[in-house]
Structure 1
Amino acid sequence: MQFSEDLAVDDFLRSRKTPFTLKDFTREMGLKGFNLSQREGEIYIADSPYVSWIEDGKFITRAAAFTGKFFSFTLTAEEFKNKMFVPGSRFMPFVDEMQNPASWTFICGGKIVPHKVGEFRKETALDLNILYGEEYEVQYIAADPAMSDYNIADTEFELPSIVKITGCDLSQFIDGDGLKAGDRIVCRVLDWDKGEIEIFPQQRSRDQSGAIVQIG
């Protein structure tokens, strides 16, 4: 029973896309068959990493805060060479950093863009994950499914000089549309809970105007 209640609470606090009050929360749980006291509701909300207090007894989930929001980054030379981009910590705080990026779904023009595994220098991989902090960035890199044959515990948490990373395949945009290193990838969070991200590769005009043209 408790397990099912926890799942229902988790679902609400991960997917609610509008601000809510404690009363809204306990009422919604009641509709799902879980009658929470005010104190139980307060504890669930206070303990959740997915919720922030805003004002006047109202709360907002990270799903509500970031779904539909845009952010962007530029394509590095090493990513261009691999014809892919690595989400890394550049996607913070717009995504759930506890999810493995290899599980995210990237969409462009209504179509799913496939994943790709590339080889990167250790220094590049660390730079791309720097916001996780020194204590965790190595663990995030080693947790990539592409690194499943490597056990960092055997090397005292040292990465090899070349690491494998799962990212988003940009072959169609590089080969077909002329996307270059230094061009910008604009992203929009479609579903925070499920890890669905829409991408808009932006090709900087090669003429003197400096205009940016969306491709894909």
Structure 2
Amino acid sequence: MIDFNYTQVINSYLCSQCDVFTVDDFYHYLKSNGIKATKTEIHTLLHSSDLVFPLINNQYVTRAGVFEGRWFSFKPSKEEIEKGQIILGHRCMPFVNPEIPPDEIQVYVNSKIIEKGSATFTMNFALDTFALYGEGYVIPYVVNDKANKEVSLSSVQFSLPTEVTLTSWPLEKIAGEKGIKFGDRILCRVIDWAECIVEMSVLPGSQDEMIISSASIERENWYTDFENGLLQSFDKNGPAGSIEEQLAFLYLEHQEELCIKNCGSSEEFLKHTTKIGFSPYGVETRIWRTGEDVPYIGKWNQSFSSDLLLSEMSITFTPQVIDAYLEDFIWDNLKAKKKRELSELVSVVFPGSLHLNSEERNLLMLNMEKRHDIIEKDYNQFSDFGIAPIRKRMLKLFSNVNELVCDIAGSNVSVSDFPQQELVILSQLFSHVVHLLEDVENLVLREQFPIDDVALSLSGMEETFEDIVYTLKAALESNKYKGFGLVE
């Protein structure tokens, strides 16, 4: 089994390898760096990585290989032109690493990195410029910008301020002596994907709106290609994991048509088209056909079954989740008069509807005992004091969500027979609470863990689960007995 302590070595390859490669290529790279792994494990790793796209003939390409050196552009707003500063928001999506927030992108002009600063913008403009992160993520991305010192995430539940300070880059440094005016574009390309370095220059707009230039004709054709490509991608890839991933699939499959100098931008396209727009997808947002709901089951996954739902979720079920359960178990036992048995915890983490045999359950018990002993040896009740209550709430929600997922997965009821939006929300809640548990188990960042902000987010997730649980359970019961009749 791959030791994920070698994450840095693995990511180094996946963030810098620009040529198409195979499992054998990656196997030899890992071996040369002292990492033992079977080819089956490598195959699983590559298919679960957000940094890699599988191709035909068992080949793979990294995001770095797809996006490094490819052209894209955006048009600065009047507000930015007037202030002489630009913000990036979603504008480099999907060309840069999706794990890197926009305030950490490095802008490269005339062979050097230009210094970033900060400027105050209207909140409406900021929200528009981060919109492709999707509903539920836009405001956190805006207020978590390093330049923002005034607005906290917990404060915006009451009202949004009219302005916000964001990381920005000076237009005079990008434009140089020629300057920049409203209507001009910023032409970009990533020159170092691993370091998130984006080269920028000014592409002058047409001086006379009455004159139709060859560039404007080419850009109009670009919008048509973009629209047709997205419509095709909806059928092939569905709503994907995010808007960012939808765009990544689009550019992967249509590089030659879309990555040209006279290109448009995703944000301009959405103002340009009437066929595609933002659409709710559970508690998130996707771009989809105008007037259509985004389904959980479609042409891209018609063979998806209830047991595959469980395997899809299990990919997200990480060791940090088990660690969180064990720390909560240790915390409770230190305070309790009657100690809990570890076997009780195994039943909570792995519900009965999973139908594990005794051998499998015993193996899980053995592994959890070993991990428990390791954690207990270094456990510090005092440092855990502030985290324990919020972690317990997370685990309660996770247990409820996990149990419902397991009930659905083990029911043999077709996924298409469940309410689609509620099923989407259940999947998203599972993923979101896992990410919260991973964050709370990051010991390096624990002292800075934003308990108040997380508590606010968690309250919303708990309410959302209450909104969907009875609908899904009712669908589960009604479909489970469909087709049964009384014997006369």
The TM-score, its normalising length taken from structure 2, stands at 0.41
Letter in 2 for 1:25: F
How far 1:53 sits from its partner (Å)?
Answer: 0.6
In structure 2, the partner of 1:166 is 167
Q: What corresponds to 1:144 in structure 2?
A: 145
Aligned residue runs from structure 1 range 1-216, under 5 A: 2-156=3-157, 158-172=159-173, 176-204=177-205, 206=207
Equivalent position SS for 1:199? strand
Are the aligned partners of 1:147 and 1:164 in contact in 2 as well (CA < 8 Å)? yes
Please tell me whether the aligned partners of residues 109 and 173 of structure 2 are also in contact (alpha carbons under 8 angstroms).
no
Which structure shows the higher helix fraction?
A: 2
- Corresponding letter in the other structure for 1:187: C
Deviation at 1:111, TM superposition (A): 2.1
Displacement of 1:76 after TM fit? 0.7
User: Partner amino acid for 2:47?
Assistant: A
Shift of 1:118: 1.3
CA distance in 2 between counterparts of 1:49 and 1:190 reads: 20
| CA–CA distance in structure 1, aligned partners of residues 52 and 133 of structure 2 | 20
Unaligned stretches of 5+ residues in structure 2:
216-488
1:4 and 1:129 map into 2 onto residues whose CA distance is 33
CA distance, structure 2, for counterparts of residue 41 and residue 173 of structure 1: 42
Letter in 2 for 1:164: T
Distance 2:198 2:58 in 1: 31
* Change over 3 Å in CA distance of 1:42–1:68 after alignment to 2: same
Please report how far the alpha carbon of residue 81 of structure 1 lies from its aligned counterpart in structure 2 after TM superposition: 1.6
For 2:147, what is the secondary structure of its paired residue?
Answer: helix
1:185 Cα offset (Å) = 0.5
SS of the residue corresponding to residue 107 of structure 1 reads strand
Shift of 1:158: 5.0
Q: Number of paired residues? A: 213
Q: Quick check: which one's strand share is greater?
A: 1
- Seen in structure 2, the aligned counterparts of structure 1 residues 202 and 20 have a Cα distance that, compared at 3 Å, is same
1:152 to 1:206, Cα distance in 2 relative to 1, 3 A? same
Aligned AA for 2:107?
F
In structure 1, the gaps of 5 or more residues are none
Q: Specify whether residues 31 and 152 from structure 1 end up closer, same or farther in structure 2 by C-alpha distance, changes over 3 A only.
A: same
Letter in 2 for 1:21: T
The 3 A distance-change label for structure 1 pair 173 and 110 is closer
Q: CA deviation at 1:121?
A: 0.8
Work out the CA distance in 2 between the residues paired with 1:204 and 1:154. Answer: 41
Distance in 1 between the 2:92 and 2:176 partners? 25
With over 3 angstroms needed to count, the CA separation of the structure-2 counterparts of 1:44 and 1:158, relative to structure 1, is farther
**Paired AA for residue 30 in structure 2:** M
**TM superposition shift of 1:3:** 4.9
Per-residue Cα deviation, 1:61-100 (whole angstroms, up to 9, x for no partner):
0000000001011111011122122111121111113212
SS at match of 1:146: coil
The TM-score normalised by the length of structure 1 is 0.89
Distance 1:57 1:32 in 2: 23
**Which structure ranks higher in relative contact order (CA pairs < 8 Å, sequence separation ≥ 6)?**
1
Deviation at 1:18, TM superposition (A): 0.7
Q: In 2 relative to 1, CA 101–142 (structure 1 residues): closer, same or farther, beyond 3 Å? A: same
State the percentage of identical aligned residues.
Answer: 29
Which ranges of 4 or more aligned residues in structure 1 deviate by more than 3 Å? 1-4, 172-176, 204-212
Distance (Å, rounded) in 2 between the aligned partners of 1:148 and 1:39? 47
Name the Cα RMSD after superposition: 2.3
SS of 1:60's partner is: strand
Distance 1:185 1:33, change over 3 A: same
Contact 2:174 2:200 in 1 (8 A): no
Note if contact 2:109-2:174 (Cα within 8 Å) is conserved in structure 1.
no
Deviates more, 1:17-26 or 1:112-121: 112-121
Q: Tell me, yes or no, if the aligned pair for 2:20 and 2:60 is still in contact at 8 Å.
A: yes
Give the drift of 1:173: 5.2
